């Protein structure tokens, strides 16, 4: 009976959204480039419609969209943003002409192609397990095949590119780099503290890392919304664990808090190209991650430690404790190499190429 009630509630929500009554996510915005001339092109960015842009809390894809729009405008590209499930907002979007559509939502490809049959589309998939088909959720298997409706698929890591090359031969694959506009000032530390940043869920393995830290007396703090049932159980049974699981923080709080840590750990089952790795380096943190979460990071950098098991993790944490790298050096490198102004240029090149040759 309760499940039936939940289904009715979900159906009502969908109807309200389609009728344009769900006001909070009725986003269709337009932005004019800084200089209008004959070379100006127009793009439509399509988001999921499930989180506000810019996000009020955590939302990596929505953060990417909000941070890249100003860079598009600087590069003589007009931008329209459609972040809604509402039929009325989609109809508003159809009233304008676009040279290219940039889709950041795996689930919207069919709807986009139905509405814009002849406009070139670049679809960027942000699915963390995209390079690992053996772990794909049922819904992503369906979403993957809808990506073939695009003219080009943006791959956020070399691993995704290589895997899609074996699975998807009908669509052009392009490498897309993430970047950041994050602002934070590095600082020297007297003690070594480790940070795990992101939604607390089984895929990101915070539960296992918490046990690792307790076993070896390593101070690890976990920042992010807690969804893993195992962690929720720990918080009830061991209230002192709240000193480790700090809950979500705003980006302004993260800007202030992150430099207090020596290292960020990302030991996830899979990530596309995690923003937290870029943001942590801006704050001067070393990185411990695995090959499934490495994304576009350069593993030859002295502060990028790639692990595959608990023994590797132990070696990396000891190395950071014994021989820390200057956080100002890390931050300087990140500031010079990870900013959107340069990272987004390959994508802009693909957009302009599609606009010219369709």
Tens digit of each residue's pLDDT (9 = 90 or more) over 24-34: 455 788 888 87
Q: Kindly tell me if the per-residue pLDDT of 92 is higher than 50.
A: yes
Beta-sheet strand order (sheet of 220-223)? 245-247, 220-223, 194-197, 263-266, 286-290, 304-307
pLDDT of residue 20: 40
Delimit the domains of the chain by residue range: 25-179+340-357, 194-337
Closest CA to 275 of 133, 197, 178, 177: 178
CATH code assigned to 25-179+340-357: 3.40.50.2000
DSSP 8-state symbol, 283: T
pLDDT tens-digit map of 152-208: 999 999 999 999 999 977 889 999 999 999 999 999 988 899 999 999 999 999 999
Q: Kindly tell me if the per-residue pLDDT of 232 is higher than 70.
A: yes
Q: Kindly tell me if the per-residue pLDDT of 56 is higher than 90.
A: no
- Phi/psi for 228 (5° steps) reads -70, 120
Taking residues 225-230, report their average pLDDT: 95
- Please state the pTM of the whole predicted model: 0.88
pLDDT of residue 142: 87
CB neighbours of 49 closer than 8 A, spacing ≥ 6? 17, 25, 27, 83, 84, 85, 86, 105
Reported confidence tier of residue 82, pLDDT bands at 50, 70, 90: very high
Domains 25-179+340-357 and 194-337 share a fold: yes
Taking residues 126-150, report their average pLDDT: 90
Give the residue carrying structure tokens 């960020």. 264
Q: Kindly tell me if the per-residue pLDDT of 137 is higher than 90.
A: no
Reported confidence tier of residue 19, pLDDT bands at 50, 70, 90: very low
Give the residue carrying structure tokens 């404790």. 321
224, burial (CB in 10 Å: exposed 0-12, middle 13-18, buried 19+): buried
CA distance 27 to 49: 8
DSSP three-state, residue 79: strand
Taking residues 97-125, report their average pLDDT: 95
231 neighbors 211 (Cβ within 8 angstroms): no
Q: For residue 284, is it left (φ>0), alpha (ψ between -120 and 50) or beta?
A: left
Long-range CB pairs of 90-94 (<8 Å, 24+ gap) are 90/115, 92/28, 93/28, 93/44
pLDDT of residue 336: 97
Q: Where are the alpha helices (DSSP H) in 170-292?
A: 206-216, 229-237, 251-257, 275-282
Reported confidence tier of residue 50, pLDDT bands at 50, 70, 90: confident
DSSP three-state, residue 7: helix
CB neighbours of 303 closer than 8 A, spacing ≥ 6? 281, 286, 287, 325, 330
pLDDT tens-digit map of 301-353: 999 999 999 999 999 999 999 999 999 999 999 999 999 999 999 999 999 99
245 neighbors 219 (Cβ within 8 angstroms): no
Q: Quote the mean pLDDT of the chain.
A: 90
Q: Kindly tell me if the per-residue pLDDT of 270 is higher than 80.
A: yes
CA distances for 135 relative to 64, 132, 139, 142, 269, angstroms: 25, 6, 12, 14, 9
310 neighbors 220 (Cβ within 8 angstroms): no
DSSP three-state, residue 95: coil
Q: Are strands 286-290 and 304-307 parallel, antiparallel or unpaired?
A: parallel
CATH class of the region 194-337? alpha beta
Q: Kindly tell me if the per-residue pLDDT of 271 is higher than 90.
A: yes
In DSSP notation, 136-153 reads --HHHHHHHHHGGGSSEE
CA distance 178 to 64: 8
> Rg for the chain (alpha carbons), in Å?
21
């Amino acid at each position: 009976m309760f499940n039936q009630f939940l289904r009715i509630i979900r159906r009502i929500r969908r109807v309200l959204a389609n009728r344009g009554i769900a006001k909070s996510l009725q986003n269709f915005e337009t932005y004019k480039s800084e200089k209008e001339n004959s070379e100006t092109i127009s793009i439509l960015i399509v988001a999921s419609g499930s989180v506000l842009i810019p996000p009020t809390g955590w939302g990596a894809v929505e953060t990417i969209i909000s941070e890249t729009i100003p860079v598009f405008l600087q590069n003589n590209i007009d931008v329209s943003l459609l972040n809604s499930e509402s039929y009325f907002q989609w109809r508003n979007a159809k009233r304008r002409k676009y040279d290219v559509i940039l889709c950041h939502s795996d689930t919207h490809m069919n709807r986009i192609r139905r509405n814009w049959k002849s406009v070139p589309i670049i679809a960027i998939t942000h699915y963390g397990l995209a390079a690992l088909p053996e772990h794909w959720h049922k819904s992503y298997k369906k979403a993957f095949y809808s990506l073939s409706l695009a003219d080009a698929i943006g791959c956020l890591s070399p691993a995704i590119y290589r895997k899609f090359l074996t699975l998807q031969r009908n669509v052009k694959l392009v490498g897309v780099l993430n970047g950041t506009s994050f602002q934070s000032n590095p600082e020297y530390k007297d003690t070594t503290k480790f940070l795990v940043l992101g939604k607390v869920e089984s895929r990101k393995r915070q539960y296992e890392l918490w046990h690792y830290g307790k076993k070896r007396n390593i101070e690890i703090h976990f920042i992010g919304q807690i969804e893993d049932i195992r962690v929720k159980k720990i918080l009830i049974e061991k209230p002192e664990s709240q000193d480790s699981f700090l809950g979500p923080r705003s980006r302004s709080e993260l800007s202030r808090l992150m430099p207090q840590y020596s290292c960020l750990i990302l030991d996830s089952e899979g990530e596309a190209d995690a923003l937290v790795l870029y943001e942590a380096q801006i704050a001067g943190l070393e990185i411990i991650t695995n090959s499934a979460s490495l994304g576009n990071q350069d593993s030859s950098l002295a502060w990028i430690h790639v692990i595959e098991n608990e023994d590797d993790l132990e070696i990396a944490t000891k190395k950071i404790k014994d021989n820390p790298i200057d956080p100002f050096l890390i931050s300087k490198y990140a500031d010079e190499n990870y900013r959107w102004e340069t990272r987004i240029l390959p994508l802009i090149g693909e957009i302009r190429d599609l606009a010219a040759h369709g």
